[in-house]
Structure 1
Amino acid sequence: MSIFSRTRDIFAANITEMLDRSEDPAKMIRMVILEMEETLVEVRASAARCIADGKEMRRALSRLEELQAGWTEKAELALSKDREDLAKAALIERQKAADMGEGLRGEIKTIDDTLRSYEADISKLQGKLREARARQNAIQSRFESAVTRGRARELLNGSRTEDAFSKFEILERRADFAEGRADALGMTGPKSLEEEIAELRASESVDAELEAMKAALKAKGK
């Protein structure tokens, strides 16, 4: 099973539980992305080990091929000297090297297949990471918008707003009362009998003084 398939199964098994447990969707998304990033690092590390193993095996295969060529030369040399026994022994050693080389070729093929699987896994993981990051931004924006709308609706429909407006009404009534007192202080009621008589006496005094001033001015004119 590829690492990507294993990771996908892990996400499928855990994502519902994570959503149920998480009170902060943004935090949950960050956790999912972090796990995907860690898995990507793991896949790349495994791929790096496969590449190193492949290079080492190819170097070993090259040495075995050189060894086979060497045993072939030795077998030919032994035959040229009429040493068939030595030639046969050299060919046996060459066959051993050939068998080891064939085994290495099989292992190299397995490594190459594994590397292709890792490349596919890495490509899929990178695509999923890009998608997750894009969704992270979108979901974060939606979550923040929902929280803002919720607060606005709570403010408009909640008891705190009603309490505030009831206090406004109390303050308005107090303002009305204060204005009424101020208006009442400026109001004048009907005059009493004594006030009216006093005004008449004052008027007579003023009229008498006015007549005296007229008479004085008239006398001066003559």
Structure 2
Amino acid sequence: MALLERVAALLRANVNDLIDKAEDPEKMLKQLVLDMENQLLQVKTQVAIAIADQHLLEKKKKEHDDSAGEWHKKAELAVSKGKDDLARAALERALSHEQMATGFTQQIEDQTHEADSLRTALRKLEQKLTETRSRCEILIAQHRRARVVSKANQVRQKIADAENGGGNGAGFDRFRLRVAGAESENTAHHELLGGDSLEDKFAALEREEQIEGLLRDLKERQGKTA
């Protein structure tokens, strides 16, 4: 399905790579979230349709199963009354309904597989969207801070130039400020591209420990109710 292919492309999207290539990272990140929200809505719609189709197929199969059972009973009644011709006709009808039910069984299996695939895509896209929203908020804040730092460095450089009157000392200070500004921009760029700081690593460990704790609690509750 083209829809699932588009969802897969969004799931494979590397936010850091997209930022690195984007002329306007903030605009790109907002568009990425918007695209995910639109695809999520489409997937939800398709899941609902797939489930409805599955239920319809199951209903049709049940109708044929019930009809086959009724015709088998009629065939038994005809045999008990010595009406073999009626019994044969009833059995023929029963066989026809059984064949139809078998056909619907295969369709139900195919539809169930499709519905399960859509459900899986929906869950993954919902998780990806939640993660991307959070990540985008952080990246946008970092990008804005990097711009503020850059502008602040430019202001400090102009002040230093004015104070030193543009002499040799001013030239040295300008060079020093450019180096400092470049270092700040590199640091901000590294953060923007997702570099993991020591705090990030400890935060990840704490989150992992929290998840493991929740998992243990869940297993204990299930063990008590078992």
TM over 0.5: yes
Q: What's the offset of the Cα at 1:9?
A: 2.8
CA contact (8 A) 1:3 1:121 kept: no
Q: Distance in 1 between matches of 2:163 and 2:46?
A: 64
Q: Distance in 2 between matches of 1:138 and 1:20?
A: 15
Relative to structure 1, the CA distance from residue 110 to residue 2 in structure 2 (aligned partners, 3 Å threshold; closer, same or farther) is: farther
Relative to structure 1, the CA distance from residue 101 to residue 11 in structure 2 (aligned partners, 3 Å threshold; closer, same or farther) is: closer
Indicate the residue corresponding to 1:103 in structure 2: 103
Q: Give the aligned residue type for 1:134.
A: S
Relative to structure 1, the CA distance from residue 13 to residue 26 in structure 2 (aligned partners, 3 Å threshold; closer, same or farther) is: closer
Q: Give the aligned residue type for 2:142.
A: R
Q: What's the offset of the Cα at 1:153?
A: 1.0
Deviations along 1:21-52, whole A, 9 cap, x unmatched? Answer: 74321111111111111111111111101111
How do 1:179-194 residues align onto structure 2 when only pairs under 5 Å count?
A: none
Relative to structure 1, the CA distance from residue 161 to residue 24 in structure 2 (aligned partners, 3 Å threshold; closer, same or farther) is: farther
Q: Distance in 1 between matches of 2:114 and 2:12?
A: 24
Q: What's the offset of the Cα at 1:82?
A: 2.4
How do 1:1-222 residues align onto structure 2 when only pairs under 5 Å count?
A: 3-9=3-9, 19=19, 22-158=22-158, 162=161
Q: What's the offset of the Cα at 1:10?
A: 5.8
CA contact (8 A) 1:4 1:124 kept: no
**Please, what TM-score do these two structures have when normalized by structure 1?**
0.64
**Please, what TM-score do these two structures have when normalized by structure 2?**
0.63
Deviations along 1:42-65, whole A, 9 cap, x unmatched? Answer: 111111011111111222122112
CA contact (8 A) 1:76 1:87 kept: yes
Q: Give the aligned residue type for 2:90.
A: A
Relative to structure 1, the CA distance from residue 112 to residue 11 in structure 2 (aligned partners, 3 Å threshold; closer, same or farther) is: closer
The answer for unaligned runs of 5 or more in structure 2 is 166-226
Relative to structure 1, the CA distance from residue 118 to residue 25 in structure 2 (aligned partners, 3 Å threshold; closer, same or farther) is: same
CA contact (8 A) 2:43 2:122 kept: yes
The answer for unaligned runs of 5 or more in structure 1 is 167-222
Q: What's the offset of the Cα at 1:13?
A: 8.1
SS at structure 2 position matched to 1:82: coil
CA contact (8 A) 2:54 2:111 kept: yes
Q: What's the offset of the Cα at 1:86?
A: 1.8
Indicate the residue corresponding to 2:205 in structure 1: none
